[in-house]
Structure 1
Amino acid sequence: MLNETDRFQLRESVGYRVMGASLFELAGDLGWLNLVARDAETAEGIYAFYHPTFQEYFAALAVEDWHFFLNHIPGNPQHPDARYRIFEKQWKEVILLWLGREEVGKDEKEAFIKALVKFEDGCDGGFYWYRAYFLAAAGIVEFKDCSFADEIVSKIIKQGFGYFDDEIQQWVNVNRTVFRRAKEILKDTDRERAIAALVKLTRNSGDKRTRWVAAGGLGEIGKDNPVAISALVQLIRTSQDENTRKEAAESLGKVGKDNSVAIVALVELISNSGDKHTRMEAANSLGTIDKDNPVALATLADLIRNSSDEDTLRKLVASLGKIGKNNSEAIATLAELICNSGEVSTRMEAAYSLGAIDKDNPVALAALVELINNSGDDYTRWRAAACLGIINKDNSVALSALVELIRNAGDENIRRMATYSLGEINTNNPEAIAALVELIRNCGDKVTRMVATDSLEKIGKNNPVVRATFVELIRHSDRENNRSIVTNSLEEIGKDNSEKIAALVNLIRNSGNVSAQRNAAFQLRAIMKDKYFATAVSSLKDCLTSQDRRKSFNRYNQCYRVIWECAQNMTYPDFYQAWHSQPTNSPIPDNSQNTDRPTLLKQLKPTDKTFPVPLNIRALEGETDISAIAQELCTQLYQTIFPTDTDIPAIRNAPEFKRLIPQLKNRLQTQHIALILHSCPCENALSSFTRKLADSHMGIHIAWITDTALELPLTGFGVDGVDLLDAVQDWIGGIGA
């Protein structure tokens, strides 16, 4: 070969020497090897294999000892005898082919897999341990008799979904960066073994959340697998937990396409379930796996016509919009709802869904235009304009409405959402670009300016006005409030600049602002390459201490994500050297006072469906009286979201509290309210009350910041959890999705 990075080429002299004249010439005659170039100086022929698999296969045949792939010298990976080809992408297929060779002894393969799963990289965070372990997970597909196989699959499942720890009796969430990668690896490992492990959890685990998570896992990897489908059907028919049945129904919609057993089970669930939300999920899945299934369409249409709850109605409408494309009954049902509903948000959802299943439907377009023109509410006008722009791209009414909201909306959240929507529906439109440029230059809100910059990048790519605006921002945005915006434009202006890298690293390390840290980390991952990977590792590694994990959840997580990215692109010896080198940064400031839990949670952002309300309920510690608990939570809720209100309702229990929810959602113009309770132990009376109060059907969702194990429908986030803000924000983003 020319060198180890030129995967598919070799010199003629090398081919003759390694393969011998007869085999080399035969490979040429068969077309396996082809002349692709000649050396500029010697005119020697350079050959390439017809397909890389040929080269990888022959390379695997030539490897006699697994130490060719890995010869770990702990503490000294730079040693000339050290080998770390397991971390080089071009060798992955060769390694898998080697593990599949029948003539390689089982003991030899076992020793290699053991070396992978026991690999110690000598760096906190386990970055290369994960890489080695994930390679082992892929390797057992070729080496199915491996004695470590069950252990490896079990570990990957835990890393990909979290798990219930029997010893401490609570659910354990894993680092979200690892979590995402483990889910991907689960699809590449021994699929049958992974499915069997998940099926076992659905049948044998005594923990409801474990069974629920396992059902979701089968939906991720069980496509067309009869064992997975059978297990999900069994859950639907036998589980006493409604959440688990719904999750199983949703998973069947992902894995059971055209499967008669799955179709029958979902039809049964629709017929037999007394829970309208379960029936809705089942109908949605049925329509997904059995296109135009009349039972699914009829069920959703019937539920729409007979539902009295507006939140449920909107979900049903959204489901019909996914599976009812060009179906006359679905179109008629939605058109009827638009004409007859007195609820603005329901009419809007119906119009959006109708436009999705019947492109340019005049009833849908007219309904959204009417809402834009006649509504006196900015939120409604934004939603209608955003929907109209999606189903009828570049619609001039939608464009004008969004631009008008950007310029005149009295609520900054509405202005921000209109700014985002404009970036989603218009490309290179002069009016849109002018509005965004004006907003960036004049708006006093830093988050809105950041959103405007993102939207401008989307719709004005290669536009000279946009480029000039970014240059102006970089030159003049020297205030702290503008730093996030400047970093947003870095990728567009240029890459691989040492000053920019240093500025982003310092911002992550030194800023006490969570949004600024997150944005800087995102941009750093986008622009760093080559030598700057090592700079990032040596500069940010000191942010991964246990103290940082406790005091600065977001900084820890952002640094972990950046260094994880570095580990995917650096050789292990280079990473090890960078990790153990001395950084040149100034000491990391202790910003724990700036990121205490109440302050941190105030940075949570609402979505278009959910309004988050963090509540400090320290005053309820030790309280057991239900009426006192109900009143204190109600009072705190009103004081947080409506601070000028003096007439706070008097309530005594959860049912009375629930009766307030529709009014609260209407005032907030949202479909869901998410309460995040913190700074108080989740004791028996509080836990029991909040379980009764939480009701996803009514749109009231409750999360606790606690280390106490919680039962559904409550959600828990660890007190010292890594990535607390991002984790809670992700939970909020998933509500109603």
Structure 2
Amino acid sequence: MHDWQYFFNHDRSNLNQGTYRIFEPEWKAEILHWFSQKDVDKQQKEDFIQALIDFDDGCGDFYRYRAYFLAAEALSQFPECSLGDAIVEQLLKWSYAYFRQDKRDWQILPKPLVKTARKTLELTDRKRVIAAFVHLVHTTESRSILRVAAEKLGTLDPGNKSAIAALALMPITEERHGYQRSSSLSKIAVGNETAIAVLVHDIEKIPDQQICTVGIRTLGKFAYGNKTAIAALVYLLETTLNKDNCCEAIAALGKIAYGNQTAIAALVKFLEINQGDRICFDAAQALWQIDPGNAAVLKSLVHILETSANTSLINRAATYLLEIEPENKTAIATLSKTLETSQSDGERLQAANSLLKVDSNNQIAINVLFELVKNLGQSPKDPEYTKSIAYTATRTLSQIDPSNQLAINALVELIRTAHDHSYLNLAVGDLGLFGAGNEAAIVTLIELIASTKDDYLLCNAAGSLEKIDPGNKIAIPALLERIQTSQDECGRLYAAESLVKIDSGNPKAIATLCQIRQNNPYQYKSILMDAVQNLKQLDLENKLVKQKLNEVIPTLIQFLLIFQQDDDNKNCFNNSPTIQLSYESCLLDIADSLTKILQKEHLPQVVITLKDYLSKQFYKNSSYRYEAVFNIIWHCAENLTYPDFHKAIN
């Protein structure tokens, strides 16, 4: 089979009689294999490529683009194609604006086109793409274009000398430019001597300036084991007057100088000269990373414990000391003393956590955590702080041993005594993680479900109850009742969403989601956005869900077409995390959700409904809405046959 028309034979007079295997995913591998065969005449391949890039689909170019992308991929199997340069040039223009030389090319392109073009660049003739980027970095006069083009070139061709050289020649007269150049080098120049030499030169030239920090961090990302970089960092460590740069040099050595004797000796010397300072703790950590077991580290950490007046530093040093030497008696004694004598609940909590990491049965630490839990609301000066401490202590107790009854009882007690809804909801959520099978936890959640008037808390409790006691007959009826009786539209929505999560396909829940959209499609924009998010989670194979989608999809499309920008993008529940959605985000999110729930049988009607919104005039009036519509129709074009799409859009 050498005739390319077996794959593609466009019959303008009767599309159903044409052959359009080029648009069928299952034929793609076969088509690319055809281009790789040596016994297929070269002119046949040339003609096929020409037919693909010249294809006039007569339906908004959606299939023209698909044909063009297939031609571009074919170049990977047929790189000698005479049309290769022109095809790659067009791909680059669609992918990156800085490849468009003609002002007529400077229109804003739809994101699906740009995204697919960039993906295809990875699949086409790589040599041509690399050559185009090399030419760009050598000819552009724009510093920003040079940087992003060099980064892309480094991604396409790791270690590319042109990309690294271009970045290396960028001046760093401003901190912003220094940061951008160093950041770009770190992405593409791992281990490259030229890039390392450039950064080392910068560090040696401006060792005390803040801009030097960026170069130091960059060396710490990609100069692993490089002696030139290590030597420069050691010199900086010993000579710089900028304490921040000194700290950065220490951190970088800890990442790239494993086993390097020069770096080890420098850090040991640094610890001998500088005793008890915070920077010594950083140096000790770095030294242990490059020379595990070094006695100077243990000595320095113990010195901090014995001499420092900084309680926070002492706790950090003791905690780290326990991490590298779990049986260290000095660290254990220090943290135990903190438990007994510190007046700071935060310090005691930190010390208890550190001790429990090495000994989960440390009863003194556990007792302190229980004491902190009981302190909930005891401090009139800073009640929020004590609540935070109490909750963190409770969670730690639960994590130590999820089956520990005392820990679970602490969560239960927190729920029964806390009046602050933020901590109450956190504790309820944690019961869902740690309270499996616990009677007290189950009873507490049941009581909370029965008594609370707070919709969010009810749903949270119902979700946790389902986790720790699957099949419990309380949660689902409680949510159903709230759906039917709540006077708050937000509450009904949240209950419906929660019910769908624990009882997928529940008819009442899905009906409520649809009803809210139908009754208030314009007033409750934030409710609809929550519902849109929830739709993505539904079981699309469920027959009931499929029936309801027939009601939901037209409502969402109608909402998409009339949605106006205003300030009503707030979440209904003030005590839950709020995601502020922009006008553009709302439109694109609805479009994205639609593409995930549309079934194949919906696609022709969706195209028919939306096709008139692809005009240039509509784009001028509402570019965001145009983009959302374009995204949906692009999805339809990818999932309909060419004749079916052509019929729907014309």
- Does the alignment reach a TM-score above 0.5? yes
1:230-629 equivalences under 5 Å are 230-239=197-206, 242-297=209-264, 299-300=266-267, 303=270, 312=279, 315-316=282-283, 319=286, 322-323=289-290, 325-390=292-357, 392=359, 397-409=364-376, 410=379, 411-419=386-394, 421=396, 426-440=401-415, 442-453=417-428, 455-456=430-431, 459=434, 479=454, 482=457, 485=460, 493=502, 499=510, 527=537, 554-556=580-582
**Alignment map for 1:2-81 (pairs within 5 Å):** 58=33, 61=36, 65=49
* Alignment length (residue pairs): 498
Residue 114 (str. 1) matches residue 93 (str. 2): yes
Equivalent of residue 213 in structure 1, options 149, 159, 180:
180
TM-score (norm 1): 0.51
| 1:365–1:388 CA contact under 8 A, matched in 2 | yes
Give the Cα separation in 1 of the matches to 2:165 and 2:568: 35
| Secondary structure at the counterpart of residue 224 of structure 1 | coil
Q: Deviations over 1:86-124 (max 9, x none)?
A: 7xxxx9xx97685475234222333344344579xxxx9
Residues in 1 aligned to 2:398 and 2:136: alpha-carbon distance in whole angstroms: 44
Distance 1:402 1:343, change over 3 A: same
Match of 1:698 in 2: none
Between the aligned partners of 2:180 and 2:463, the Cα distance in structure 1 is 36
Deviations, residues 34-76 of structure 1 (Å, cap 9, x unaligned): xxxxxxxxxxxxxxx9xxx998973874895499799897985
Determine the C-alpha separation between the residues in 2 that align with 1:479 and 1:363: 50
Q: Read off the aligned partner of 2:331 and give its amino acid letter.
A: A
CA distance in 2 between counterparts of 1:503 and 1:194 reads 61
1:102/1:133 Cα in 2 relative to 1: closer, same or farther (>3 Å)? closer
Distance 2:154 2:595 in 1: 19
How many percent of aligned residue pairs carry the same amino acid?
Answer: 21
State whether residues 134 and 162 of structure 2, in contact with CA within 8 Å, keep that contact through their aligned partners in structure 1.
Answer: no
8 Å contact kept, 2:57–2:63: no
Evaluate the alpha carbon distance shift between residue 432 and residue 362 of structure 1 in structure 2; reply closer, same or farther with a 3 A threshold.
same
The separation in 2 between residues aligned to 1:487 and 1:73, in whole angstroms, is 53
Deviation readout 1:392-441 (Å, 9 max, x if unpaired): 56755544433432332442232344355556655444333332344345
Q: 1: distance between equivalents of 2:414 and 2:456? A: 15
Candidates 135, 139, 146, aligned match of 2:119: 135
Report deviation, 1:191: 3.5
| Map 1:658-669 → 2, pairs under 5 A | none
CA distance in 2: counterparts of 1:386 and 1:85, whole angstroms: 60
C-alpha deviation, 1:334, in angstroms: 0.9
Which residue in the other structure is 1:30 paired with? none
Counterpart in the other structure of 2:80: 103
Displacement of 1:345 in angstroms is: 0.8
- The change in CA–CA distance for 1:373 and 1:496 in structure 2 (over 3 A counts) is farther
- Per-residue displacement from partner, 1:648-692 (whole Å, max 9, x unpaired)? xxxxxxxxxxxxxxxxxxxxxxxxxxxxxxxxxxxxxxxxxxxxx
Alpha carbons of structure 1 residues 253 and 414: separation in structure 2 relative to 1, 3 Å: same
Deviation at 1:378, TM superposition (A): 0.6
Unaligned runs of 5+ in 1: 1-17, 20-48, 166-178, 583-737
- How far apart, in 2, do the equivalents of 1:461 and 1:537 lie? 43
Deviations 1:619-655 (A, max 9, x none): xxxxxxxxxxxxxxxxxxxxxxxxxxxxxxxxxxxxx
| Displacement of 1:346 | 1.0
CA contact (8 A) 2:253 2:286 kept: no
Equivalent residues of 1:291, 1:323 under 8 A apart: yes
Q: CA deviation at 1:238?
A: 2.5
CA contact (8 A) 1:355 1:365 kept: yes
The alignment's TM-score, normalised by the length of structure 2, stands at 0.57
CA shift, 1:266, in A, is 1.6
Mapped partners of 2:348, 2:54: distance in 1: 61
Instruction: Give the superposed CA RMSD.
Output: 6.1
SS of match in other structure, 1:325: coil
> Structure 1 stretch 423-432 or stretch 558-567: which is displaced more?
558-567
Preserved contact between residue 200 and residue 229 of structure 2 (Cα < 8 Å): yes
> 1:338 touches 1:350 (CA, 8 Å); kept in 2?
yes
In 2: Cα distance, 1:578 partner to 1:194 partner? 52
Q: Which has the higher strand share?
A: 1
Asked if the contact 1:517–1:555 (Cα under 8 Å) also holds between the matched residues in 2, the reply is no
- What are the superposed Cα offsets for residues 212-259 of structure 1, whole Å, 9 maximum, x if unpaired? 233134334432233332332232223467333222222212211122
Asked whether the equivalents of residues 415 and 424 of structure 2 are also in contact (C-alpha less than 8 Å), the reply is: yes
1:553 CA drift (Å): 8.4
Q: CA deviation at 1:388?
A: 3.1
Aligned to 1:222: 189
Q: Is the 8 A contact 1:195 1:228 kept in 2?
A: no
Task: Give the counterpart letter for 2:116 in structure 1.
Answer: A
| Structure 2 spans left out of the alignment, 5+ residues | 1-5, 8-25, 38-44, 101-107, 380-385, 465-497, 541-545, 572-577, 613-650
1:164-189 per-position Cα deviation (integer Å, ceiling 9, x unaligned):
89xxxxxxxxxxxxx9xx99989854
Q: Is the 8 A contact 2:348 2:368 kept in 1?
A: yes
- In 2, distance between residues paired with 1:428 and 1:503? 42
C-alpha spacing 1:376/1:81, structure 2 compared with 1 (3 Å): same
Q: Which amino acid aligns with 2:93?
A: K
| Distance across 2 between alignment mates of 1:412 and 1:70 | 68
Displacement, 1:485?
A: 4.5
What SS does the corresponding residue of 2:292 show, helix, strand or coil?
coil
Give 1 or 2: higher helix fraction: 2
Whether the 8 Å CA contact 1:127–1:567 is kept in 2: the answer is no
Equivalent in the alignment of 2:638 = none
